[in-house]
Structure 1
Amino acid sequence: MTDFTDEDLLALLKNDDEKAFGLLYDRYWERMIAKSYAALGSHVDAEEIVQDTFINLWKKRHNLEIKYSFKTYISAVVKYEIYAKIAGLKKRKDQAGVEADNIDLIDDSTQQWLEFDELRNYIETAMNVLPEKCRLVFSLSRFDELSNEEIAQSLNLSKKTVEAHITKALKTLRDNMGNISSYNAFLILFLLKK
């Protein structure tokens, strides 16, 4: 089973295969903790975010719809959880006037998942207005997490062309955010930041 692709494991996960879930966890937990720790500077918070993310993944396994790779999906969810943690700590610090390090957040992961799904759908819809090559380059950059050099090589483009496509995509997404709240616009830009 260790030679199964992420997609194979996801199919098994949807059928309640705990071993497949464990293998996905083993493949990604260390990277996700490193990502969380880099943003938060706390091993405890980083581990909590990754654990909560995978617990929610198990709970939502029957309804998962992953349009890109699992790596992209789990990275985006963790990034969102990091943002939610930072925002929650800041909000509570501002309201209570106490140090954010001493605050425990209330678990509102279900709401966060719903908001994440809405934002993901918005991003996908907004990307549909991009020219095909621009959309492909942006998707490879932000969702498949390829470097500009890797994209240039795989699509036989110059690095400058890749950068131009990414810049155009970000500008288009920013310009089309007028109909959503400033909070969600900020969150989308955070999720798409590399």
Structure 2
Amino acid sequence: MSSIICSDDEDPHASLTQIIEHSYGELKAYARRKVGDDTIAEELVQEACLKLVTSTGEQPLNPRAYLYRIVGNLVVDHYRRKARNNANFVLSEATDPADERPDAEREVIARQRLAILVQAVSELPPRCRECFVLRRFDDLSHAEIAERMNITRSAVEKHLAVATVYCARRLKAHE
């Protein structure tokens, strides 16, 4: 009987980047079909990749299938959030909104995480960092990034996968 968990002899993180690189486009297409929005689909896939890389414990034997399951769950969560936000909007019209400012502890944690992410992004290889910044901060599409950097869309996806995995590992190391 085969195990669904990698053995301790293997380095599951070494192959995760490759699996993410190879599956990124199809996962994004899957998510896009589910949510109907390219930007939301990409965010869901990136979140799924982060969850896979930062998950504690043993890695699944079939990370690609696991990624599909995570994306599917994130799609469900997306629609639940959307429904809850619509309901909350209707309620907020009738009632006085509560103070939604984060408490001091959450604010400190958020600042620490941001500092770790800024440091992690600065440590990325130059082309990888440029690609990541163009996507996450300048909100360019994969096609726009590919054109601007004079690389293929596949190379853009690979750079983004490497950056996502690296940043997730840095966050995990500090938690």
Q: TM-score range by the shorter chain?
A: 0.3 to 0.5
Q: Answer 1 or 2: higher relative contact order, Cα 8 Å, separation at least 6.
A: 2
TM-score, normalised to structure 1, is 0.39
TM-score, normalised to structure 2, is 0.43
